[in-house]
């Protein structure tokens, strides 16, 4: 059972109590206030899709994990510099009443040593962040442009092609799966399946399909 990969067990009950009344809708509004780039919105929706799927797999609160996935990069468009990204966002989230565990998860997805990834949510967020983008890139070079047609083996093959999606740090992909304690191929497969189930929203349903675009959320 995948749930056994995480230690200590039962952490959720004590560490992640509530969203302070915040909902996925609040997170969506916040994201759209701060981000105008459709590709960044799509990235956030992809990460939400993957964190939500892992929450369901692990028996964790789906909405809470979805909210974190959706807003993890909300400050990136205005503050892309690593010295500001996540830090500016964290301060703003505090003023908006988001709970500290959400803020901590947002802070931990950067690679800054000040905010190590300690909880399953933080490890999951890191593990799916770059991977969803990489899977999207692999989808878009398939003839069908459909994420449903992407295989974990082809994702791994593309990881070896240094010229492909060069901005994605391969070591983050492997480190993410390692930190989660899931074999890389299994992790990739799981994220492909999650993205396939939400392919319309992510614009990855393939050529000729009616894709619902990110601005419709």
Instruction: Kindly state the smallest distance separating residue 50's Cβ from Fe ion, in Å.
Output: 11
Please tell me whether residue 122 binds Fe ion under the rule CB under 5 A.
Answer: no
Q: Choose the binding region for Fe ion from 16-24, 33-41, 124-132, 188-196 (rule: CB under 5 A).
A: 124-132
Q: How near is the Cβ of 109 to Fe ion at its closest, in Å?
A: 6
Nearer Cβ to Fe ion (18/84)? 84
Is residue 48 close enough to count as binding Fe ion by CB under 5 A?
A: no
Contacts with Fe ion, 58-77, as mask; x by CB under 5 A: ---------------x----
Three-state SS string over the chain comes to: CHHHHCCCCCHHHHHCCCCCCCCHHHHHHHHHHHCCCHHHHHHHHHHHHHHHHHHHHHCCCHHHHHHHHHHCCCCCCCCCCCCCCCHHHHHHHHHCCCCHHHHHHHHHCCCCCCCCCCCHHHHHHHHHHHHHHHHHHHHHCCCCCEHHHCCHHHHHHHHHCCCCCCCCCHHHHHHHHHHHCCCHHHHHHHHHHHHHHCHHHHCCECCCCCCCCHHHC
Q: Judged by CB under 5 A, which stretch of 112-120, 122-130, 142-150, 198-206 contacts Fe ion?
A: 122-130
Among 42, 54, 129, 206, binds Fe ion (CB under 5 A): 129
> Applying CB under 5 A, which residues contact Fe ion?
73, 129
């Amino acid at each position: 059972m995948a749930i056994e990969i995480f230690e200590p067990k039962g952490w959720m009950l004590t560490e992640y109590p509530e969203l302070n009344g915040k909902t996925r809708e609040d997170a969506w509004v916040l994201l759209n206030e701060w981000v105008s780039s459709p590709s960044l919105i799509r990235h956030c929706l992809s990460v939400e899709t993957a964190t939500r799927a892992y929450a369901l797999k692990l028996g964790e609160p789906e909405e809470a994990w979805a909210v974190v996935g959706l807003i993890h990069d909300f400050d990136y468009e205005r503050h892309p510099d690593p010295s500001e990204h996540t830090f500016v966002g964290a301060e703003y989230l505090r003023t908006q009443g988001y709970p500290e565990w959400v803020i901590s998860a947002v802070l931990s997805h950067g690679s800054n040593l000040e905010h190590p990834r300690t909880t399953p949510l933080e490890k999951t967020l890191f593990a799916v962040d770059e991977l969803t983008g990489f899977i999207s890139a692999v989808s878009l070079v398939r003839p069908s442009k459909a994420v449903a047609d992407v295989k974990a083996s082809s994702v791994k093959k593309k990881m070896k092609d240094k010229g492909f999606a060069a901005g994605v740090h391969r070591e983050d992909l492997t480190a993410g799966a390692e930190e989660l304690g899931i074999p890389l191929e299994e992790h990739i497969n799981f994220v492909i399946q999650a993205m396939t189930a939400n392919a319309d929203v992510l614009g990855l349903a393939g050529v000729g399909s009616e894709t619902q675009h990110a601005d419709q959320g």
